[in-house]
Structure 1
Amino acid sequence: MIKPQALKKGDHVAIVSLSAGVLGEEFAKHELNQGRKRIEELGLIPEFMPNSLKGIEFIKNHPEKRADDLKQAFADNQIKGIFCAIGGEDTYRLAPYLLNDPEFVKNVQQHPKLFTGFSDTTVNHLMLYQLGLTTYYGPNVINDLAELDTELLPYTKKTLKHYFQNPATTEISSSPVWYEERTDFSKAALDTPRVSHPETKGYQVQRGSGIVEGQLLGGCLDSLNSLLTDKRYNDEPKINEKYHLIPDAKEFEGKILFLETSEEKPTPEEYCGMLKKLKSKGILQAVVAIITGKPQNEVHYDEYCQILKEETEDTKTPLMTNLNFGHAYPRTALPYGLKARVDLDNRKLKIIEPYFAE
């Protein structure tokens, strides 16, 4: 994998709206301001790409403009990192504009930059993974940097600070606290804390013992499922097949699969169906272990664990659940394509190579 450099204070970072255009809406102005301020507090200089603040309708109707913003970010040598504004549901529409552009491909490979986001951003991660770039399934602007409380969530802040560091190995430990999603994102909610709970479970091993190592690959289960079905958009599976957005089962051999569920909180039946879809593609059977993120608000957690065990019973795949990536709060960052060690006996996860270029 091609790794970007770690961030440094004074670096310019691009903000892109590759999925939904919420960041440009008047109702999200306080979140835009909060996000900008927090980026600056990290010592970074935010650059909002030309189309990133044009709002929901424009962004929805112009996938080519979303793609232009990402192209510009990779083409600009001054920009060292790229932060996604938020997820959404149709970033797959950028594939033709990006992957058919040799200039973009060359820039990604010759001028690698830190790229972070989650949810629908899974699909952007897979595009960049295909080009050989390590990206980070982690914080975005609206969900994390624009946290409405007076401070960033401490665990998420540590994740963001890690984007400036490059140790030889990185232990990703369980957060001592988890938080519920907000029900009010309005200006009135500024300076109010999230509902929080002590973490009573930590990482949970559902199956397996000893140590398993492999490169990380995965994302949001709902997003992967959408690429494989026409549940949301008729052309999505066609685009997936044409551009090989989800790698074939062979690419998953020897990998540690990371999966998490969206804020839509799929029912246990839906969760089961999505796992079966991955299984039908040979993906579940190919991997050496599966790790899953805590579901948002812990909804359906026990049922999900049971279903995951049932769907992997035939392969006896090692399983560790309740990690802090994905749609629950707070958030860590998982690096695509880098080697990880799952220690099932001690319930630990360690990335056993540097996140960034040395």
Structure 2
Amino acid sequence: MHRRNLMKSLLAAPLLGAVSASVSARTGSTVSVTTDYSAPASDAPLLPRRLEPGMTVGLVTPASNAWEDEDIRFAGDVVKSLGFRVKEGANLYQRTQYLAGPDAARAQDFNAMFADPDVDAVFCLRGGYGTPRILPMLDYDNIRRNPKVLLGYSDITALLNAIYRCSGVMTFHGPIAAQNFTDYTLAEYQKVLVHGERPVPLGAPPAFESAPGRVERENRITRFAGGRARGRLIGGNLTLMASLVGTPFEPDYRDKILFLEDVGEPPYRVDRMLTQLWLAGKLQQVAGIVFGKFTEADTDGNTFSIEHVLRERCAGLGVPVVRGLMIGHIDDQTVVPVGAMAELDGDAGTLVLRDRVVA
């Protein structure tokens, strides 16, 4: 779903420290969580179990919902086709305008899935808008005690990075449940979450059969700056990463490899958000930057190109920067583990996962 025009209001974030959030859902239930948002002592992440057939996957909608109930049932069938049982969140079918129900209801479902010993992993039905609103309501202590695979992208970026920062649990930027997996997406998903391969390249362009007069056009790698860097991965959707700046939930950028993507954002908006990260000193702290896909960007009229903006904003950082890996609002998607150690080669245009990411 487009991020454009959906981030008009931001989370009124609490200060660092122990904070209590208590909100009543439409169902009459209450979310009351007292959590220390300070980062775990160690940068090394807690690993969830690798995915195996027969596991139970909790299906949640922490942001927006699908338009129709049948789309939700479709998402459940996608999860079942991967060999899992499905447990639906109690509020999975709720809708409140652009949100999948009241904030407290969405947070309640999310917390319940991590507290439930019968649930082995948590898949997000879709992105959209709304995850920053529930960040103060999440039980990070409970998530820390019960590491599980959390999979999603787009607006789910806020959850992925906040959970890694506040609980130390590794999370996974990858396909949502409400989409069919292409052969490429399935292979990337399996090598990371099912087989736990390492070292393994992430997001390399799909195979393309060249011929005289025909070469790859859609999935090219742009090398903005060469060199090699090692660091733990953080990132996801640029809009969400910008929205986390200055809150207790933003990840530590120091010595990290930052990956970014977006959809429906014209170059001037991408420029504005990257400039925010730069002015906040975040881009100057990273070890390297990986740009995925910036799809459906309106470049009509008198404007810079996306390539120009990305290149200019990263000029002078002195770290490897590449663009074009299979990360973003695209059919062929890789899975990027937030918190995993990886190596970026700016000359080769590759990102290689070095860590074990599932137990």
Q: Give the TM-score normalised by structure 1.
A: 0.79
Alignment partner of 1:116: what SS? strand
Deviations 1:132-172 (A, max 9, x none): 01000111112x3xx3xxxx311111133232111232222
Deviations along 1:316-337, one digit per CA (max 9) or x if unpaired, are: 3321101111212211111111
Which of 232, 240, 244 is matched with 1:215 structurally?
Answer: 232
Aligned partners of 2:273, 2:203: CA distance in 1, in Å?
28
Does residue 115 of the first structure (1) align with residue 131 of the second (2)? no
Task: State the shift of 1:174 in Å.
Answer: 2.1
Match among 112, 126, 132 for residue 161 of structure 2: 126
Superposition map of 1:197-276 within 5 A: 201-209=219-227, 211-228=228-245, 241=247, 244-247=248-251, 251-262=252-263, 265-276=264-275
Contact 1:59 1:65 in 2 (8 A): no
1:12 aligns with 2:36: no
Matched, 1:71 2:75: no
Partner residue in 2 for 1:293: 292
* Distance change >3 Å, CA 63–CA 256, structure 1 → 2: same
Partner letter of residue 316 of structure 1?
A: G
TM-score (normalised: structure 2): 0.79
Which whole-Å CA distance do the structure 1 matches of 2:132 and 2:201 have between them? 32
Q: CA RMSD in A?
A: 2.3
The structure with more helix, counted as a fraction of residues: 1
5-14 or 288-297, which deviates more: 288-297
Q: Which amino acid aligns with 2:94?
A: K
Question: Where do 5+ consecutive residues of structure 2 fail to align?
Answer: 1-44, 209-214
One-letter amino acid matched to 2:160: H
Distance 1:299 1:202, change over 3 A: farther
How many equivalent pairs are there? Answer: 304
The secondary structure found in structure 2 opposite 1:331 is coil
Assess if the C-alpha contact under 8 Å between 1:74 and 1:111 holds in 2.
yes
SS in structure 1 of the partner of residue 120 of structure 2: strand
Distance 1:299 1:341, change over 3 A: farther
1:1-358 superposed matches below 5 A:
1-22=45-66, 25=67, 27-29=68-70, 31-57=71-97, 59=99, 62-98=102-138, 104-130=139-165, 131-142=167-178, 144=179, 147=180, 152-162=181-191, 163-176=193-206, 201-209=219-227, 211-228=228-245, 241=247, 244-247=248-251, 251-262=252-263, 265-297=264-296, 303-357=305-359
Does the Cα contact within 8 Å between 1:290 and 1:319 map onto a contact in 2?
yes
Greater shift after overlay, 302-311 or 107-116? 302-311
Specify the alignment match of 1:231 in structure 2: none
Change (3 A) 1:96 1:172: closer
Counterparts of 1:76 and 1:108 in 2: how far apart (Å)?
11
Q: Is the 8 A contact 2:62 2:107 kept in 1?
A: yes
Using a 3 Å threshold, how does the CA distance of structure 1 residues 138 and 58 change in structure 2: closer, same or farther?
closer
Q: 2-side partners of 1:227 and 1:346: how far apart?
A: 31
Query: Over residues 267-306 of structure 1, what are the superposed CA-to-partner deviations in whole Å (9 max), with x where a residue is unaligned?
Result: 1111111111001111011111110111225765x92222
Residue 105 of structure 1 and its aligned partner are, at CA, apart by: 2.6
How far off its partner does 1:74 sit?
0.4
Change (3 A) 1:173 1:106: closer
Which amino acid is 1:287 matched to? V
Question: How far has the Cα of 1:58 moved from its partner?
Answer: 9.2
1:206-250 Cα distance to aligned partner (Å, 9 max, x none) = 1113x211111112111223345xxxxxxxxxxx63xx1113xxx
Report how far residue 201 of structure 1 moved: 4.5
Identical positions, percent: 25
Contact 2:94 2:101 (8 Å CA) reproduced: no
- 5+ long unaligned stretches in structure 1: 99-103, 179-196, 229-239
Shift of 1:32: 2.7
Distance 2:190 2:219 in 1: 26
Deviating beyond 4 angstroms after TM superposition, the runs of 4 or more aligned structure 1 residues are: 58-61, 197-201, 297-300
